Chains A and B, each alone.
Chain A
Amino acid sequence: MALELESITVRYGQTAAVSDVSLSVGDGEVVALLGPSGCGKSTLLRTIAGLEKPSSGFVRWDSSDLAGVPVHRRGFGLVFQDGQLFPHRSVAGNVAFGLRMHRVDREERDKKVLSLLELVGLEGYADRRVTQLSGGEQQRVALARALAPSPRLLLLDEPLSALDRALREQLAVDLARLLREAQTTALVVTHDHDEAFTLADRVAIMSRGRIVQVGPPAEVWSSPVDVETAKFLGCNKFVPGSFVGLPVGRVGLRATALRVDGAGPLEGTVLERVHRRDHVRLLVEIDGEEYEAVGPMSEIGDHVRLEIDLDGVARIG
């Protein structure tokens, strides 16, 4: 394992922002720390970077303890939510910064800067002032800057949250490709599950300072460990397993769990309908309970038959 966290606890006075967190990230793996704001995920990231001191526990890299290693010797790259580019340097100056710190000679530096700018899709931006860039461009520069010294681990703190939605989705795809191609070992902190699932090989769910579940995105998505996690992952209705044909346990239903289908096993009465771009959202009453469902744009009567779509169902535990 490249990065290993063992029982990390970070305290601010009496309150523990992170408690007893253990996690490992393999070589070339991308792990997402996913959780609501205030769950301690950024604190954990800062602790790994060396910006916070853990009150107990160990941060290890290739089995060696990093406790005595200061930030600038860890060789970890960090990308902040809002870029934090050096305002007094040009785009190229920002990207070249880490290379200069590592005494890369000028010629090689220039070459690397250009190839990185190309990688993040900013050819020809080298001499621009960073203050003249848009948010998305700034974030690309921040990424190129962090990647330039070839960090052994890339830490991304909500790298896309400050951007507007369309840009965010585009950049998430770009970023995922970039991380895969460069086989970067990375830890991404985010509160957006789309972002986490797009980027990560594994997802670690954090809640109130603890990691409650770790696993591949598909696994976490389909079987969240508890109701709280299931809610965070979009489930808004909880029913016994028998509802979807499982013998035991509870399941969480997302808005897309029930579909209008003439041959479906369930029968219900439509209470409300909301028209979306290419489908209709329904509020349906089944056996005296209210459920959300989706249907086609075509005319839907007051009585509908519904099919269960297992992609919209999450088994708890």
Chain B
Amino acid sequence: MAALLPLAFLGLFFAWPVLAILSLGLREGGVLTALFDGETWELVGFTLGQAAASTVVAVLAGLPVAFVLARCRLRGLGVVRAAVMVPFVLPTVVVGLAFRTFWPDGGVLSIVLANAFFNVAVVARTVGGLWAHTDRRAEDAARALGASRPRAFLSVVLPALAPAIGSAAAVVFLFCATSFGVVLVLGGSRYRTLETEIYLRTVELFDLSGAAALSLLQFAAVLAVLVLGALARRRRETALSLRGREELARRPSGGEWYVVFAALAVVVALLTPVVGLITRSLSTRDGWSFAGYAALATRGDRGTLAVTGFDAALNSVRTAFDATLVALVVGVFSAVVLVGLRRSGGRIAEVLDTALMLPLGVSAVTVGFGYLVTMDALPGDFRTSPLLVPLAQALVVTPLIVRMVLPVLRAVDERLRQAAATLGASPLRVWREVDLPLVGRSLAAAAGFGYVVALGEFGATSFLARPDAPTLPVVIARLMSRPGELNSQMAYASCALLMVVTVGCVLLIERLRVPSSGEF
């Protein structure tokens, strides 16, 4: 029964709008036409291919970073942690432009790298989170039995991390397959994925039925990936012994330094576009200048915007907060329900698990457009409600929170909860006294992660934000699309501002994560 709340949320704010758009497309009968069009299958091939390549790059780059974050005791780790997070929350359009300064003509390589650039954080965080809590003794045992360090890694550590790597890879793949801004900017009309094609057909060609047909196709592909992922996750019920990170982290030794250097190289690579952006925000044709930042107090060149940059920033901060709150409630509730259901061995658990992942893989463009079509039917003037944007963002953030909290929640030994219960703790109290302290760190991390993602959300927000209350990423896109030195200068300054807020959030989360000990 408890599964109903998350399902209701998904139904109302996800399934309904998406289905509305799909049925709109189906009624026009464009699906068959699209399916028999050779071009469609080229699009599918390119979409999946670039997503797969990006996923591989992101996983390979993310693993050494995960190792360093989880297992090493080094100075400046906080900086690394923050640095890895930054790309993930940057507005996609901006990253697209940043990469274009390195590859002026765009192209496949730049698309793959830019997509991977975003998602290294997903791998590092998800895998690192598990890694930080897995017992080191199994690895030590393998070493003592004569396994070399790489051998011990391959035969002991990797299988233990497999659930986290698997779910991270699934998420990354979905992100890359439905990545929008980057592909649009770097691929243009030459390299199109389903997502950009849907957008182009909707917005530029007004070919709604064609767009809906492609949406349907994309939806089917996403569903297939999710089902495969769910099948793979079945094996994840390995009992982990959770331990505090302080006991496991130590100074790297011997060959581990190579991994540390690899991680540093990844971090440098991740920071390059970021530094490029900041440099760009400070440089004008006339040399160094704060003109862009000063312009944030204005509405842009010749009134490009309806509000000032600062108002938009403020609105972003508020909207993202609301979105995170909603996502946290729905996400944590879902995770708790999922753990409970999995315990009693339910089919429903798998359905809910998969359903919660769906919003990740569905075109944000479709969702945003669907909201516009369906929200009319709700009581009150929902279409212009200030709640619309936070709800759409919450939809994007919720799956992330579920994915981050769930593995840790599952790793809590059921008998700990039972011990608490026999000592007189009611179910709610058990959650507060046992689960919450044990998953507290992951929860704080998930909340922070969710917040910054909501801050940078662009796809759905761009459809739904009212002109008098835009978020920062929407403002950036708008400024970019208009001519004028001041506008682009202001856009870069906005990016820098967004980055500062992001880094601030991430650092704050790190500060909050104090290991708990003793009472309360």
Interface check A217, CB cutoff 8 A: no
- Number of A interface residues at 8 Å Cβ cutoff, please give it: 37
Write the B414-433 contact mask toward A (1 if CB under 8 angstroms, else 0).
Answer: 01101111111111011001
Q: How large is the interface on B (under 10, 10 to 19, 20 to 34, 35 or more residues)?
A: 20 to 34
Query: Which residues on A sit within 8 Å (CB–CB) of B421?
Result: 50-51, 70-72
Asked whether A238 is an interface residue with its Cβ less than 8 Å from the other chain, the reply is: no
Known: A87-B438, A93-B519. A101 touches B419 (CB 8 A): no
Roughly how many angstroms separate A101 CA and B428 CA in the complex, as a whole number?
12
The answer to whether A93 touches B423, judged by C-beta atoms less than 8 angstroms apart, is no
Complex Cα distance, B425 from A100, in Å, reads: 9
Please indicate the chain B residues that have their CB under 8 angstroms from the CB of A101 in the complex.
420, 423-425, 429
Contact call A146/B438, Cβ cutoff below 8 A: no
CB distance from B292 to the nearest CB of A (A): 47
A89 within 8 A of B: yes
Assess whether A51 is in contact with B243, with CB atoms less than 8 Å apart: no
How far apart sit A71 and B424, CA to CA, in the bound complex (Å)? 8
Describe A's contact surface by its main secondary structure: mixed
A86 at interface, CB cutoff 8 A: yes
Distance of A88 Cα from B436 Cα, bound (Å): 11
Contacts of A125 in B (CB 8 A): none
Contacts of B438 in A (CB 8 A): 87-88
A97 on interface, CB distance cutoff 8 Å:
yes
Q: Is the Cβ of B416 less than 8 Å from the Cβ of A86?
A: yes
Q: Which residue of B lies closest to A129 (CB)?
A: B517
The CA of A97 and the CA of B429, in the complex, are separated in Å by 11
State in angstroms the CA–CA spacing of A102 and B425 once bound together.
Answer: 9
Flag whether B413 is at the interface (Cβ < 8 A).
yes
Residues of chain B contacted by A129 (CB below 8 angstroms): 517
* Contacts of A81-98 to chain B: CB distance below 8 A: 84, 86-90, 92-93, 96-98
- Return chain A residues, CB-CB under 8 Å to B427: 70, 72
A76 and B517: CB pair below 8 A? Answer: no
Q: Which residues on A sit within 8 Å (CB–CB) of B247?
A: 131
Closest Cβ of chain A to B417, distance in Å, is 9
Asked if B423 and A89 make an inter-chain contact with CB atoms under 8 angstroms apart, the answer reads: no
Q: How far is the CA of A146 from the CA of B420 in the complex (A)?
A: 10
A-chain residues with CB within 8 Å of residue B517 when the two chains form the complex: 88-90, 129
Task: Select from chain B the residue with minimum beta-carbon distance to A132.
Answer: B247
Asked if A84 and B422 make an inter-chain contact with CB atoms under 8 angstroms apart, the answer reads no
Given known contacts A87-B244, A87-B438, A88-B437, is B415 in contact with A98 (CB within 8 Å)? no
Q: Is the CB of B422 within 8 A of A76?
A: yes
Closest to B413 in A: A84
Docked-complex contact A51 and B423, CB < 8 angstroms = no
B271 at the interface (CB under 8 A from A): no
- Interface status of A295 (Cβ within 8 A of chain B): no
Does A168 sit within 8 A of B, measured CB to CB? no
Does B238 have its Cβ within 8 Å of any Cβ on chain A? no
Smallest beta-carbon distance B515→chain A, Å? 8
B434 on interface, CB distance cutoff 8 Å: yes
Inter-chain CA distance A98–B425, complex, in Å, is 8
Cβ-closest chain B residue relative to A80 = B415
Which residues from chain A contact B434 at a C-beta distance below 8 Å? 86
Q: Does B518 contact A (CB under 8 A)?
A: yes
Assess whether B242 is interfacial by the CB under 8 Å rule: yes
Which residues of B have CB within 8 Å of A72?
421-427, 429-430
Q: Does B33 contact A (CB under 8 A)?
A: no
User: Given the complex, which residues of B lie within 8 Å of A155, measured CB to CB?
Assistant: 422
User: How far apart sit A100 and B415, CA to CA, in the bound complex (Å)?
Assistant: 19
CB atoms of B423 and A88 under 8 A apart: no
A contact residues around B148 at 8 Å (CB)? none
Question: Least Cβ distance of B412 to chain A in Å?
Answer: 10
List the 8 shortest-distance A-B pairs measured between CB atoms, nearest first. Answer: A101-B424, A98-B423, A78-B422, A71-B421, A88-B437, A84-B415, A72-B421, A84-B419
B residues sitting closer than 8 Å to A (CB atoms) are 242-244, 247, 413, 415-416, 418-427, 429-430, 433-434, 437-438, 516-519
16 contacts between A and B (CB under 8 A): A49-B422, A70-B427, A71-B422, A72-B421, A72-B423, A72-B424, A84-B415, A84-B416, A86-B437, A101-B423, A129-B517, A131-B243, A131-B247, A146-B422, A149-B423, A155-B422
Q: Which residues of A contact B (CB under 8 A)?
A: 49-51, 70-78, 80, 84, 86-90, 92-93, 96-98, 100-102, 127, 129, 131, 142, 145-146, 148-149, 151, 155
